[in-house]
Structure formats: structure tokens, C-alpha cells
């Protein structure tokens, strides 16, 4: 048996590999660079925060829509005749949601980009952007690799 048959017994598991992000037991590799798991101090997921102006614009448009809708229903006389529908609207909303008519909104919200960040001893780095489910999978694998690394060096 020659030197080619000697096995060291060290295996490196690839925990996550998708769209340019690779996570193993020992390192994280992205187009932004390669980072050792031992250097990772924290990892987290965030979504780009809406600015204060965006929130006020959205709230204003929503309130304006409701006012126009209720005002139009009141001016047409519909609200005076069918005011019970105004009270029943929360029930109707939940029935519509249960039937699945609001699923396109849920799909849109699910596809929004979330960001995976890590902090090393010197820098915070944006590693990857994807939907919430995929980013959380990658975050869990980083946490798993950090746990394995701690366990390996505690013994």
C-alpha cells in the first residue's frame, strides 16, 4: 500500500450550496470573499428597511383608499341601506383569506428579498440575498457549522 491509500479521516461536509453561497463546516464562500467559520462572531437575517417616507406614503394611500371607498358608499346611499356589510367586513375578509383569494399577496410577500449578514472580528458583510425561506436555511447552516466548530475545539 502506497501513500495514496493513507486516509486522514477528516471530512468537510458541504452544508449549503446555492446561487454563489457555499457553506461548509470550515468556511463560507461567496463572491464577496471566503470567511472561516472560526472568524464568524454573529450571523443574522434582515430585510431592507422601508424608509420613514415610504411608510407614511403607504399609510396615507391606504387611509385615503378607505376614506374614498366609505365616502363613495355613503354618498351613493349604499352604506345607509347595507350598513351591516360594514360590520361583517372582517368576517368576509377572513373567509376570503381562508378560501385562498389572498394567496397572491402572500406569494408576493414571500418572494421579497431578505439579506444574510455575518460579522467577523473586523467587519460586517452582506453574504447573500434571496427569499426568506432560502436565507433562513442558509442561516441555520451557518449556525450549525459554528456549533460543530465549537464542539470540535471544546473537547
Q: How confident is the model at residue 140 (pLDDT cuts 50, 70, 90)?
A: very high
- The model's pTM is 0.59
**Tens digit of pLDDT for each residue in 49-100?**
666 667 788 788 888 988 898 888 888 988 888 888 888 888 988 888 888 8
Angle at 40 between CA 37 and CA 42, to 5 degrees: 135
> Do 139 and 118 contact (CB within 8 A), yes or no?
no
Q: String of b and e for 118-138 (b: at least 16 CB within 10 Å)? A: beeeeeebebbebeeebbeeb
Span 34-57, pLDDT tens digits? 999 989 999 999 886 666 667 788
Amino acid at each position: 500500500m502506497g501513500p495514496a491509500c493513507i486516509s486522514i479521516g477528516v471530512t468537510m461536509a458541504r452544508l449549503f450550496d446555492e446561487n454563489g453561497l457555499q457553506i461548509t463546516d470550515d468556511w463560507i464562500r461567496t463572491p464577496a470573499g471566503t470567511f472561516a467559520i472560526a472568524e464568524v462572531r454573529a450571523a443574522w437575517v434582515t430585510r431592507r428597511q422601508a424608509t420613514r417616507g415610504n411608510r407614511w406614503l403607504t399609510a396615507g394611500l391606504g387611509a385615503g383608499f378607505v376614506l374614498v371607498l366609505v365616502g363613495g358608499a355613503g354618498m351613493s346611499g349604499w352604506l345607509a341601506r347595507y350598513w351591516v356589510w360594514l360590520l361583517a367586513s372582517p368576517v368576509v375578509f377572513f373567509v376570503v383569506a381562508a378560501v385562498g383569494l389572498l394567496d397572491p399577496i402572500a406569494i408576493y410577500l414571500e418572494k421579497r428579498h431578505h439579506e444574510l449578514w455575518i460579522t467577523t472580528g473586523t467587519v460586517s458583510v452582506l453574504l447573500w440575498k434571496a427569499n426568506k425561506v432560502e436565507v433562513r436555511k442558509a442561516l441555520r447552516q451557518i449556525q450549525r457549522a459554528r456549533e460543530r466548530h465549537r464542539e470540535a475545539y471544546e473537547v
